[in-house]
Amino acid sequence: MDGKAEPMASHGARGRSGGRPTLEEVAARAGVGRGTVSRVINGSPRVSDATRAAVEAAVAELGYVPNTAARALAANRTDAIALVVPEPETRFFAEPYFSDMLKGVGAELSDTEMQLLLIFAGSDKERRRLAQYLAAHRVDGVLLVSVHADDPLPDLLAQLDIPAVISGPRSAAETLPSVDSDNYGGARQAVEHLLSRGRRRVAHITGRLDVYGAQRRIDGYRDALSDAGHEVDEALIEAGDFSEEGGSRAMAALLERRPDLDAVFAASDVTAAGARQALREAGRRIPDDVALVGYDDSAIARHLDPPLTSVRQPIDEMGRRMIDLLLTEVADRRPLASRGLDRRQVVLATELVPRSSS
């Protein structure tokens, strides 16, 4: 070695063997042992500043790229995280909630060496395939989005001792780390807003009732009415499923049952879009005849005519916080069963965004 820096080609530098530079070549260039190079690359503090500088200079001169796969194998790690969506692909691409969540997750992972795998598990076949994949421990952790109360995936992950974080607890007794918005408070904000505008017969189109967040929105709806001195009329509550079609069907059923309703709180913006269509087909003007409020504050809310009042939940931030929690779980070497009560449940605040629909 003549000590002259070799220029780095765009396709990567070559070592003496003609292939990619090796750890041994970096050690020789820096005048240190192989173990010292490894400690510098892995951020060990047990290296002097002068030695660290020499190794870093050699790495730069040779264009050495650490073999992250080998490092991960040595540490019993895959450097991969799975974002699992137990829903059909059609719903994932139809609802902005999922793309906003993916955006937050991706942004938070961008400064790490972790790979993100997007996996759909909306059918029994997909779930069986996912179970086999996870049993092979091909990922370090899992993010679960849109989890239903009877979903077996969280229990499967616990059995496999794979760290997981879910977007919203399955129940009040959730044991997994979770990140959610204040569904109860957001629903109260929506109903209180409608009541403040003089509306008295406020209907609610729910989300899927096997989702805990949807249950909490019903609770907030009911309590807001009761606390304002209004009797809760169960005839003004209709089950939906977070979809546009479900919103349209539920709205039609409500109009048939209670044609005198003057406001609707829908469990999602997509649901509200379906309700809007049914209201227009029935000749009801928004907001003159019926005020309408959605949930999520997605792009749909801004683009509807009239623009939709909606409860903003910080979905992007939820994705970021999920990654923070999961990376903490992955770094914790203790078995999952021994971690007990130190699991974290994060709840982020919501905000009502008034627009012309109410």
3-state SS string over 119-132?
Answer: EECCCHHHHHHHHH
Distance CA 156, CA 241 (A): 25
Find the mean pLDDT for residues 167-173: 88
Among 151-165, 189-203, 262-276, which stretch is predicted with the lowest mean pLDDT?
151-165
pTM of the model: 0.74
Among 6-15, 17-26, 87-96, which stretch is predicted with the lowest mean pLDDT?
6-15
Q: Is the per-residue pLDDT at 206 higher than 90?
A: yes
The residues pairing with 155 across neighbouring beta strands, listed in sequence order, are none
Strand 141-144 to 202-205 pairing: unpaired
Condensed to tens digits (0 to 9), the pLDDT of residues 287-342 reads 999 999 999 999 999 999 999 999 999 998 999 899 988 988 887 766 666 655 45
Percent of the chain at pLDDT > 70 equals: 86
Q: With DSSP H G I counted as helix, E B as strand and the rest as coil, what are the percentages for the chain, rounded to 5?
A: 45, 15, 40
* Nearest by Cα to 168 from 28, 350, 30: 350
CB atoms within 10 A of CB 153: 20
Condensed to tens digits (0 to 9), the pLDDT of residues 24-45 reads 888 899 998 877 877 787 666 6
Structural domains of the chain in order of their starting residue, each with its CATH number: 23-71 (1.10.260.40), 80-180+316-347 (3.40.50.2300), 183-312 (3.40.50.2300)
pLDDT computed for residue 342 by the predictor: 52
Max intra-chain CA distance, the chain: 89
Condensed to tens digits (0 to 9), the pLDDT of residues 98-146 reads 888 888 898 888 777 788 999 988 888 888 888 888 888 889 899 999 8
Residue 178 three-state SS: strand
The token pair at 15 is 């070592």
